[in-house]
Structure 1
Amino acid sequence: MPGFKELESAFASQKLFEEKSWQLSPAAFSLTEAQVVEIEAIGRACLDFHQGLETLYLRSASGRNLLRNQPLLAPWVAEYIDRGKPVWMTEHARSPGRRGQFPTVLRPDLLLTDEGFALTELDSVPGGIGLTAYLCALYADDAIVGGSEEMLLNFQRSLAGLRPEIENPIIGIVVSEEAATYRPEMKWVAKQLQDRGYRVHCMSPEDLFPLGGSLCFDHDGTPEKVDVVYRFFELFDWENIAGREFLIDALESGEIAMTPPLRPFQEEKLALALFHHHRLHDFWAEVLPKRSRKILQKIIPESWIIDPSPLPPGAILEGPQVGGHPISDWRDLAAASQRERELILKRSGFHPTAWGARSVVLGSDVSREEWGTALEEAAAAAESGPFILQRFRKPRRALHPLFDGNGEFRERQGRVRLCPYYFVIDREPILSGVLATFCPPDKKIIHGMRDAALLPARKT
């Protein structure tokens, strides 16, 4: 159990924590053995979901039937997903040569509720890899989920697996200016892996250049060929990436492997709404393994795509109700009571506000006027970048020890978000660490704020 001074010194000594602060705790966050087993199963379900989503999107985009033995066409699925995306990117995502390419890093956001876990997002470009690796080592004991090294080693293994023909491939972690706040963390990850003998480097897009058909970077004055690119930036940022044409050329020619793939349908939150869509029930039942479908049905909250298209007279929307009555326009929810507004509104993806909780609005946490304005903005954005509506599942209260300013600790109440990290190795998602964010109980939306504690998880 690390002490207060030990923790202060450890965090102060690391550049990856510059200008970042949070509450300190003497202990990792405890999970039961059953919870860890369930989290491991969630990883498999998330990868199965990605595989099913690929099938759904590609069949929708090509006008193919979704089911084996029954007619079911859904061109509207691809139409929703492709809104606001450049044509070349959707064509690339649909290319037969990209079939079967999935993110090698999976990180769902799981809220710990009275009913169990609630999966609010499935992130394919997550921050926190270095932070979680550091915390796992700092709090290391035999019970830490993933152990003290697995975050780092499995991250490298998942990337190296994209080029199995190369022993110890050169991996470039490419961090854009938009994601620059994570650059110190990724530099730390690269340095830790270099110290273990792996050829991993953190760089900016500007550091890459073509040479003799290869994609290279300057390593101590010598051009080095990159074999694998870990894309640490969102796809909406693509047009701001210097040398993006070099990346595409190297990818198309097979000179590099890249993950996450340039497939925007894998980074849209509206995929969670598609899972719950009543017209796709038979599709998910057919493509998902029974166990994974059961897990996803339990943990994914009801979600809907905000589409303001007018309905025929007498038609209603499948979704939340107002005063016990169904709605025919999503903006009708502006009249909902505070209790009925236990709903999360957020942008689906491919936009600067789609990450870091920047677009998230909890209806019950704002005034009716603010909620109405948010609904109007979501409806107005539907053609260029859809929003989704999600049933809010309130995290339950938990107890965990925290230090005060004098270095004394005592049990505090709070609410918890768990972020498990899975690295896909040989087509299997390997749970390698869990980052717990322990927030004060009055916080409705949980993220890495100054008054939260960031902790690894341990099995008890």
Structure 2
Amino acid sequence: MAEEVQGLSHAAVVKAFSEQSLFENKTWRYSPVAFPLDAKQVAEIALIGQACYDFYRAHESLYLRSATGKNLLRNRELKAPWVAEYLDRGKPDALIEHARSKALRGSTPMVVRPDLLMTENGFALTEIDSVPGGIGLTAFLNRLYEGVHADALIGAGMQDMVEAFYQALCSRAPEVISPMIAILVSDEAATYRPEMEWVAEELRLLGRRVYVYHADDVMPLGDTICVPMDGEPQQVDVIYRFWELFDLANVSIAEHLLKARRESQLSLTPPMRPFQEEKLNLALFHHHMLEDFWKEALPKASYRVLKRVIPQSWIMDPVELPPNAVLDAPLIGGKPMTNWLQLADASKKERNLIIKISGFHESAWGARSVTLGSDSSKADWESAIQQAVTMADTSLHILQTYEKPRRLRHPVYSEDGSLYQMEGRMRLCPYYFVDEKAQRAHLHGVLATLCPADKKIIHGMKDAALLPCVLAD
């Protein structure tokens, strides 16, 4: 029998979730207590958030300089036109032009959420999401558990997280005292609509003008975007974009949004800059030709953090090489590769690698495109390699070293309400809201996903436990 744990009862948790439709058709396991992190881990998470924001800013400089043929370094010549070619591959010309426009210079995602695996050697940062779900979920969990943990929840309480989200939105329209804010959700992102509606409702209870609409419910009116309000068109000051950019063709006002933001008639966040939403950005950080650029463009502390937490990653570009050249890739059988198809010959041990699509594709979010070589059959591994090579003309894939999450235990309720110590592997998703004026990323909550130990790829699932994080005593 599991030892008694003081915290939320099973009945209290079930009641809390049954009283709202925030997570309709979604189930997971509950816990009586939040997941504890020690002071050193919390400090590291805070550093990671600022490093990710600094990375966005340096990466913008890299992309724009690459696209315009400018030198990357101050005192030595280094040009890398291939960076922009990688990041623009498969994107519509109008979106590329928009992303490079002067009106968007310095514009970064408002919400930054990295995926952090807890390994034996610390955190492994496997992705940075700029259009993340889970904001409402994390805020709701913070509220639910704050009575158990008082002020110890990471990022403070629910109200602070929701209010911080609102203040970050308001900062995109600094001249407006009480901005009209529209959160636009596409069909592709409909899973997250209930939690965004909950966030908007919480803010309206505080007198804020925040509403959720389908992307097709808003309408252009002259140089503005309007929404229906009491039978009259109401001008929108800030749009929070909740759709991936590959879905832009299915957004009826896409053309107007591109034009309006370019002419600074509308504040839209996160900005529609596809180069900021590619997983291959992590591989660019590790690219040997760009090492001096990152050292020069990033603050020293942020460079050290990123070097420590980003797993080794490579871009799977199936170019034809001259006879004396080799790929920037892992060794297979102790020898360098000259063709990505040679990955198929990797031994089981050498296949401790993950293949995933970089971005701008319907399979680029969630775990839908992820293949772990050491956990796949040889046939599935070969199929993933072949797909990466075949799709490279429009959608690049990356190859990333698999950092295995360590096993840990946490009290969890079974379906019948009994408590047991669940053994599993943990992914943390910290949420940072960006203050562009101060150039800071502030931590306002951490969502923990504890998956059963036999699951190698960690993501939200019915067998997982989702819970907030707390500073351990």
TM-score of the superposed pair, with normalisation by structure 1: 0.98
Distance 1:176 1:442 in 2: 34
Q: Does 1:294 align with 2:309?
A: no
Aligned to 1:402: 412
Q: Does 1:64 align with 2:70?
A: yes
Code of the residue aligned with 2:445 in structure 1: it is G
Q: Is the 8 A contact 1:343 1:362 kept in 2?
A: yes
Aligned to 1:143: 152
Aligned to 2:334: 324
Q: Is the 8 A contact 1:215 1:255 kept in 2?
A: no
Aligned to 1:203: 213
Code of the residue aligned with 2:240 in structure 1: it is Y
Aligned to 1:281: 291
Aligned to 1:154: 164
With 429-438 and 7-16 compared, the bigger mean Cα shift is at: 7-16
Identify which of 332, 351, 355 aligns with 2:365: 355
Aligned to 2:469: 457
Code of the residue aligned with 1:79 in structure 2: it is E
Q: Does 1:447 align with 2:459?
A: yes
Distance 1:211 1:51 in 2: 33
Query: Relative to 1, partners in 2 of residues 1:312 and 1:438: Cα closer, same or farther, differing over 3 Å?
Result: same
Aligned to 2:443: 431
SS in structure 2 at match of 1:261: coil
Q: Offset at 1:211?
A: 2.6
**Per-residue CA distance 1:92-140 (angstroms, 9 max, x = gap):** 1111221100001000000000000000000000000000000000001
Q: What is the number of residues matched between the two proteins?
A: 460
Aligned to 2:3: none
Identify which of 7, 21, 24 aligns with 1:18: 24
Instruction: Give the root-mean-square deviation of aligned CA atoms.
Output: 1.0
SS in structure 1 at match of 2:54: helix
Code of the residue aligned with 1:121 in structure 2: it is E
Q: Offset at 1:410?
A: 2.3
1:169-188 paired onto structure 2 within 5 Å: 169-188=179-198
Aligned to 1:7: 13
**Per-residue CA distance 1:346-394 (angstroms, 9 max, x = gap):** 0000000001111110011111121111101101111101000000000
Q: Is the 8 A contact 1:150 1:433 kept in 2?
A: no
Q: Does 1:111 align with 2:121?
A: no
Q: Is the 8 A contact 2:95 2:258 kept in 1?
A: no
Identify which of 324, 346, 353 aligns with 1:343: 353
Q: Is the 8 A contact 2:103 2:261 kept in 1?
A: no
Aligned to 1:236: 246
SS in structure 1 at match of 2:183: strand
With 162-171 and 205-214 compared, the bigger mean Cα shift is at: 205-214
Q: Offset at 1:329?
A: 1.1
Q: Offset at 1:212?
A: 4.4
Code of the residue aligned with 1:431 in structure 2: it is L
SS in structure 2 at match of 1:389: strand
Distance 2:64 2:224 in 1: 31
Q: Is the 8 A contact 1:109 1:418 kept in 2?
A: yes
Query: Relative to 1, partners in 2 of residues 1:107 and 1:416: Cα closer, same or farther, differing over 3 Å?
Result: same
Code of the residue aligned with 1:366 in structure 2: it is S
Q: Is the 8 A contact 2:103 2:263 kept in 1?
A: no
Q: Is the 8 A contact 2:13 2:30 kept in 1?
A: yes
Distance 2:135 2:216 in 1: 23
SS in structure 2 at match of 1:357: coil
Code of the residue aligned with 2:261 in structure 1: it is L
Distance 1:375 1:411 in 2: 38
Identify which of 42, 48, 51 aligns with 1:42: 48
Q: Offset at 1:311?
A: 1.1
Q: Does 1:89 align with 2:99?
A: no
Code of the residue aligned with 2:54 in structure 1: it is D
Code of the residue aligned with 1:49 in structure 2: it is F
With 371-380 and 249-258 compared, the bigger mean Cα shift is at: 249-258
Query: Relative to 1, partners in 2 of residues 1:212 and 1:386: Cα closer, same or farther, differing over 3 Å?
Result: closer
Distance 2:341 2:270 in 1: 35
Code of the residue aligned with 2:335 in structure 1: it is H
With 249-258 and 20-29 compared, the bigger mean Cα shift is at: 249-258
Q: Offset at 1:48?
A: 0.5
Q: Is the 8 A contact 1:209 1:246 kept in 2?
A: no
Distance 2:223 2:50 in 1: 38
1:220-231 paired onto structure 2 within 5 Å: 220-231=230-241
SS in structure 2 at match of 1:273: helix
Distance 1:195 1:254 in 2: 30
Counting aligned pairs with the same residue, the percent is 55
Distance 1:72 1:212 in 2: 45
SS in structure 2 at match of 1:206: coil
Q: Does 1:366 align with 2:372?
A: no
With 260-269 and 310-319 compared, the bigger mean Cα shift is at: 310-319
Q: Does 1:98 align with 2:104?
A: yes
Identify which of 173, 177, 182 aligns with 1:163: 173
Q: Is the 8 A contact 2:103 2:264 kept in 1?
A: no
SS in structure 2 at match of 1:15: coil
